[in-house]
Structure 1
Amino acid sequence: MTPRERKKAIRAERLALRDAMGAEARANASAAMLAQGGEAIAFPPGQVVAGFWPIRSEADIRPLMARLGARGARLCLPVVLDRETIVFREFAEGAPVVSTGFGTTGPGPEAAVLDPDLLLVPLSAFDAAGNRIGYGAGHYDRAIDRLRGMGRRPRLIGIAFDCQEVASVPAEPHDVALDAVLTESGLRVFKRA
């Protein structure tokens, strides 16, 4: 089995486990992420933090984003422009949001485009080394690559439930590892060589 095939199988397995969580369990785990990460995620005031509006069975990190905003973060959300590109538009608490493609929600075209310093990254699976499996479209990989091409090195914090952890992710050369992951059990920072 190729790494790509293994990733596809792991993605399907872990997303099925996430989908199987009941609504109450998912809400409780999302609330625990606020409790675990609301103060633990470090950043200087004014830093641009990209979150996301939940789709399907993802964790609802909107309360976490509100807390980070109250601590001084400048918030933005990803917007899918086409099958290849996402940008990050500024988001203020209470601002209107619109459908932004591929089932996502975010600020409309009137919002400023920002380059994030820290990305809260949704994912399908992760391992103890900080390797992640996304949803398969490569949007975040390309966005991170674009930011790095501009000389930026955004910190990457994966957002997942505990059930999405696997023993090992078949990492490929183009994959970018996470700096940390936030689950309902807490914020885990990965050591880099």
Structure 2
Amino acid sequence: MLRREFLAVRNRLTTDVVRDAGTALAERALELPELRRARTVAAYVSVENEPGTLALLDALHARGVRVLLPALLPDNDLDWGAYAGEGSLARVQHGGKMALFEPAGERLGPDAVTSADVVLLPGLAVDARGMRLGRGGGSYDRVLARLERADAHPALVVLLYDSEVVESVPEEAHDRPVDAVVTPSGLRRFKAS
């Protein structure tokens, strides 16, 4: 129910609001010390009315950062490929799910994410504890579990609209908090739990 409410608000956003938010989000994210130092960033290409990521991906790529993007596997796990500009993306329809923009080149395997210095996560909301509410498919829960198993500790940053930073979201035993949220108006860090 909560996911549907956040998606309904996003669906009412105009193209101009989404575009302007994506530009502001990139500016704010690029101020993060973790992103300034990063050699490898695992990110994603925004779809529908998600906060836009292409400006951020292009800025990171222009800086010489290795940007990894996910490719959805049939079991909802994620493989990874390198981003080499907007022309390196393919629009992929996954059955009854939404179409995603994925890297068109070589697949690096699900464990490639463990080399990232920063992982940029999609979401629908984050709460005061840093708990992220995703879309419910479990793909990024698997990514976070994979990072934990590999003893990898990249900065975990969720990209959202300002209104999606809320007091509380439901939490399950497997959920892990993020380190920070970036919105078009700024950055908020969370204490380690």
Instruction: Calculate the TM-score normalised by the size of structure 2.
Output: 0.86
Residues 110-189 of structure 1: pairs in structure 2 closer than 5 A: 110-113=106-109, 114-115=112-113, 116-189=116-189
Q: In the TM superposition, what is the alpha-carbon distance from 1:177 to its structure 2 partner?
A: 0.7
* Aligned Cα root-mean-square deviation (Å): 1.9
Mapped pair 1:39 → 2:31? yes
The aligned amino acid for 1:84 is: N
Aligned equivalent of 1:80: 72
Distance apart, 1:125 and its partner CA: 1.3
Q: Give the residue type in structure 2 aligned to 1:104.
A: L
Q: State the secondary structure of the residue aligned to 1:163.
A: helix
Q: Distance in 2 between matches of 1:181 and 1:44?
A: 16
1:25 is matched with: 17
Q: Identity, % of aligned pairs? A: 32
- Over residues 85-140 of structure 1, what are the superposed CA-to-partner deviations in whole Å (9 max), with x where a residue is unaligned? 11221111254222343421111352544323311111011112211110001000
The residue aligned with 2:61 is 69
Equivalent position to 2:8, from 16, 30, 43: 16
**Native 8 Å contact 1:123 1:160 kept in 2:** yes
**SS state at 1:67 partner:** helix
How far apart in 2 are the matches of 1:149 and 1:179?
Answer: 18
1:4 maps to none
2:103 corresponds in structure 1 to 107
- Does the C-alpha gap of structure 1 residues 132 and 155 become closer, same or farther in structure 2, counting only changes over 3 Å? same
The residue type paired with residue 149 of structure 2 is G
Measured in 1, the distance between the counterparts of 2:33 and 2:80 equals 20
Once the two structures are overlaid, the 10-residue window that deviates more, 38-47 or 102-111, is 38-47
1:41 shift after superposition: 4.5
Alignment partners' CA distance in 1, 2:27 and 2:76: 34
Unmatched tracts of structure 2, length 5 or more: none
Tell me the CA shift for residue 71 of structure 1: 3.1
Check 1:88–1:13 CA distance in 2 against 1; reply closer, same or farther (3 A cut).
same
Whole-angstrom distance in 1 between the partners of 2:13 and 2:36: 35
In the alignment of these two chains, the number of paired residues is 185
Question: Partner letter of residue 172 of structure 2?
Answer: E
The alignment's TM-score, normalised by the length of structure 1, stands at 0.86
Q: Secondary structure at the match of 1:31?
A: helix
Contact kept in structure 1, 2:71 and 2:79, CA below 8 Å: yes
